Amino acid sequence: MSEFEPTERTRVKRLPKRAHYDRETVYGILDSAFVCHVGFNVDGQPYVIPTNYGRTGDTLYVHGSAASRMLKTLSGGVPVCVTVTHVDGLVLARSAFHHSVNYRSVIILGNARLVEEPAEKLEALRLFTEHVIKGRWDDVRQPTEQELKATTVLAIPLEEVSAKVRSGGPLDDEADYSLLVWAGVLPLETVAKEPLPDALRKNDPPVPDYLKNHRR
């Protein structure tokens, strides 16, 4: 299927015209971001934790220390909410009320699965590395058995998913267009700068092309 089937929990009710349920939009938002926010509940206390992730097909992987409270809690099967957001611009209207933000966001609901099979776990770690910098995995030392044991990996199925997108300029009240107030969009983007070598480097090779030419 090319679209996720919206559920009562993922169907966008506020400004539904901004909703997207197609995989192309959802994958594009997920694959171009670095950080997701993971929401869960422990004994009545909600937590939202930022973390990195990787994706393949309809599976999102998160990982961290085996001692992580978040990962220990989620591996027990508690409900989880994962969000990813891009801020693309500040929308400046003629009235304070109509100021807005251009954004692309995804929300994922479900339950996480502990990844225990060694091959899947290693592949998930490769996905994390490649998600940060494509081409990096083949350059670096692979995880040792001890490092794998110290790392927990969880898989979150992309089943209950929706995206929401706002683009374009301000939408002012007709009467406000006569006001002498600048209105429009201030675009925002994340830009890679010059790579900074490790201060403790020893016999480092030149900066690799995938880093020099990195674009997100």
Query: How far, in Å, CA of 23 to CA of 69, rounded?
Result: 31
DSSP letter string, 98-151 = T-EEEEEEEEEEEE-EE--SHHHHHHHHHHHHHHHSTT-TTTSPPPPHHHHHTE
More confident residue, 72 or 216: 72
Whether 40 is covered by a domain: the verdict is yes
Whether 216 is covered by a domain: the verdict is no
Q: Which CATH number is 120's domain given? A: 2.30.110.10
Whether 11 is covered by a domain: the verdict is no
Is the confidence at residue 1, as pLDDT, over 80? no
More confident residue, 207 or 124: 124
Per-residue model confidence (pLDDT) at position 13: 92
pLDDT digits (tens, 9 = 90+) for 106-119: 999 999 999 999 99
Residue 24 phi/psi, 5-degree rounding, is -60, -45
Q: 37 by DSSP, 3-state: which? A: strand
Whether 56 is covered by a domain: the verdict is yes
Q: Once rounded to an integer, what is the mean pLDDT over residues 151-178?
A: 97
pLDDT digits (tens, 9 = 90+) for 15-69: 899 999 999 999 999 999 999 999 999 989 999 999 999 999 999 999 999 889 9
pTM of the model: 0.91
For the chain, what is the domain count? 1
Whether 134 is covered by a domain: the verdict is yes
Domain limits for position 41: 16-171+183-190
Mean pLDDT of the chain: 94
Whether 199 is covered by a domain: the verdict is no
Percent of the chain residues topping a pLDDT of 70:
100
Whether 3 is covered by a domain: the verdict is no
Question: pLDDT tier at 204 (50, 70, 90 boundaries)?
Answer: confident
Whether 208 is covered by a domain: the verdict is no
